[in-house]
Chain A
């Protein structure tokens, strides 16, 4: 059944440039309909991974399949499309002409007007590309990627260099498109983008996957969450015996518990003690990101795929 083919399947992908191991044994499976973020600092191997999925680059070892076929075959059939950092545009065409020209290259393509509209650039279709802002050019690249009506949309740091407004407009266009069921895989080093737009985060560090899960799971991976409560005469020994608890701090009547399983702690506090004013504070993704991608972060255990 074709519907059940994974959108992307990477199995033990390695890629070196000289002595630099850009991608080191990356494996993951992306199901159709998922919106996943490839998150990591510069040089983590995000672009190399995406290039391999798009057939622009080749892995030294490992297997890559896009909807069950090779990346080249998927590109030829318009099943996968991408918005790349490096994809250039011709300055001497208008926005509409660029879309018209690209549309002729596909065996079947969406109507030009519809694509312009969905990318939110129908109002500036007559503008020369050289006069379009960075954000408008990026939405044009998105329009080009929409032409073949791809099953999988790949975005490589799509909002790099955009102002806040451009970034918001761009993500609005992506989000309303993804709502129609398209699979999206995007690379970013903006944590808030991964948190806000992805339902799965794959965290890369030095070419390896260090975490893979929902934004919430990834966030709780490093230091987890802190649970605070008012609890006179807290039994520290009992609390530290709960699963996932890392540290306990008692300040008068207040206890502060760092844990990777805040649910267990909260349940215990509320059912077995007189605790009140229980607060659970999530560590934000930024902190998780820094912990997991920092020099000593590699030992964090990945959680299972979100699929």
Chain B
């Protein structure tokens, strides 16, 4: 029956409404979306096989080309996955679901946390799938390098989860990935994910370091390639993360403010 007494005593959910069942249902929803799965799992694997078979380039900077390509494609996959996960916000705002959620105790920060974790989980799947494809087809790396580069390719994708969120708040549309997808392709190519920058024309080499993919690609390949760690990689990653996560935060505040 309708309770009347002691309204103040009614409980408020812990963690602003964040809970594992919610997370599980969100992940299941993401996996049910065929386009997202295609984009974050099938496309990277297909690209990997394409690049592997289409060109037999000389070993880049002392390491085998297959491994360099594999790590680059894994970063690309993690980036697609993380961005699509973050961009779910866009779809949910377009549908009005965000407004529906504001009638529940769910705190906006808990909502964003759920979106980021979901995006990163999909990114992890993407990295693992590409690495498994690499392993099966004979890519050679030391055990430590396998683990470390997978971890780096995955963790650095956080910048793209922020990018997805950012775009989600900029473009409230159900087709946001059709706009972002090609943009990610451009970032990936010019940042040297598909083919290392050193093998590309010099004009591209001069644009490359400004791409949001540049730092991520170089850092994820560092365990494989070794050599000196170039601080501009980290600078690139930090600056882009600040821009995208900061932008997403500003837009998110504006979106959830009471008007």
In the complex, how many angstroms separate the beta carbon of B130 from the nearest chain A beta carbon?
Answer: 26
Is there an interface contact between B13 and A84, defined as CB atoms closer than 8 Å?
Answer: no
Q: Which of A2, A68, A82, A105 has the most CB of B within 10 A?
A: A105
Q: A54–B106 Cα gap in the complex (Å)? A: 14
- Residues of A within 8 Å of B2, CB to CB, are 149, 151, 180-182
In the complex, how many angstroms separate the beta carbon of A93 from the nearest chain B beta carbon?
Answer: 6
- Residues of B within 8 Å of A105, CB to CB, are 13, 17, 19, 22, 101, 104-106
Chain A interface residue bracket vs B: 35 or more
Q: In the complex, which residues 1-51 of chain B have their Cβ closer than 8 Å to any Cβ of chain A?
A: 1-8, 10-14, 17, 19, 21-22, 25-26, 29, 32-33
Q: A108–B96 Cα gap in the complex (Å)? A: 24
Q: A144–B10 Cα gap in the complex (Å)? A: 18
- Residues of B within 8 Å of A91, CB to CB, are 95
Q: A2–B10 Cα gap in the complex (Å)? A: 12
Q: CB-nearest residue of chain B relative to A77?
A: B10
Does B102 lie at the interface of the complex (its beta carbon under 8 Å from any beta carbon of A)?
yes
Given contacts A56-B258, A84-B100, A88-B100, contact A76 B105 (CB under 8 A): yes
Does A145 lie at the interface of the complex (its beta carbon under 8 Å from any beta carbon of B)?
yes
Q: In the complex, which residues 98-117 of chain A have their Cβ closer than 8 Å to any Cβ of chain B?
A: 100-102, 104-108
In the complex, how many angstroms separate the beta carbon of A1 from the nearest chain B beta carbon?
Answer: 8
Is there an interface contact between B32 and A92, defined as CB atoms closer than 8 Å?
Answer: yes
- Residues of B within 8 Å of A78, CB to CB, are 10, 105
Tell me which of B1, B12, B259 contacts A107 (CB under 8 A).
B12
Does A19 lie at the interface of the complex (its beta carbon under 8 Å from any beta carbon of B)?
no
Does A67 lie at the interface of the complex (its beta carbon under 8 Å from any beta carbon of B)?
yes
Q: List 9 A-B contacts (CB under 8 A).
A: A2-B7, A5-B7, A76-B13, A78-B105, A87-B97, A88-B95, A88-B98, A107-B12, A141-B100
Residues of B within 8 A of A (CB): 1-8, 10-14, 17, 19, 21-22, 25-26, 29, 32-33, 92, 94-106, 258-259
Please name the 3 residue pairs, one residue from A and one from B, whose CB atoms are nearest each other, closest first.
A88-B96, A88-B95, A107-B11
